[in-house]
Structure 1
Amino acid sequence: MTKLNTKNSSDVALCILIRKNRQQGFEKLYKSYGCILYGLALKSVSSKELAEEIVQRTFLNVLKKIDFFSDQKYSFHIWMIQNLIAAIKELLTEKHIEYNFTLHQFPEFSFELKHHISPYSFPSSSQSEISSL
């Protein structure tokens, strides 16, 4: 079995785990993807607080939509990045932060923010939502 196939099969197993046991599946999902998603979010918005909120939103959306994921259409990590990009766009729009989004060659993307974000101005609001899932 190739490394790519191993990753795909472990992602399928992760999806099954999340569907059967949300808490245990979420913990494994977070261990597998938390750091990379945080790094991509931080690179995109240059704010630790916004990056944390974006990652929280991404995981919330993934947990809500996990039953709609189909491994035949996309690989799981591509689907995670798509959810991250959607969460970034959603949060920036809610905060009235203008941006330019560029999709280079997926999954390579970038956000150019029109003005500087204060790194301490946006408190995280999604923590209670995660614990309620």
Structure 2
Amino acid sequence: MKDDIIETGKTEVLESGPFYHGTKADLQIGDLLTAGFRSNYHTEVIMNHIYFTALPNGAGLAAELAKGDGSGRVYIVEPTGVFENDPNVTDKKFPGNPTRSYRSKAPLKIIGEVTDWVRLTPEELQTWHDKLAKIRSNPEAKIIN
């Protein structure tokens, strides 16, 4: 699938999609997701980017960890502007982009919804919440915003 990948640098590989965003928000096709909201992981941080992934189950994990009421939702999204590898999980912290995660300052347009993503068991969800609590308590664990 080399045709589906755009090479933009030595270690940076950006894909052409499809892309997914996980949230608890009830959205409609055509809605735009924008930056400027509090981080799900460090609530004191207002995010300068909107995040997305090429992995539906990765977006599902984000949906289940998202703040808010309701069930997690995974939306198929289309970037409306330039985007980059998410430095929180790529070369600045980990080699490559194994999570196929990206971020953009431009909005993401909702173009569909995925309903068959893998949901976490209550035990797995608690494990993730415990991991996030540990990260939040570490003053050196900062979001690259």
TM range (shorter): under 0.3
* Larger strand fraction of residues: 2
Q: What TM-score do you get using the length of structure 2 for normalisation?
A: 0.25
Q: What TM-score do you get using the length of structure 1 for normalisation?
A: 0.27
* Larger helix fraction of residues: 1
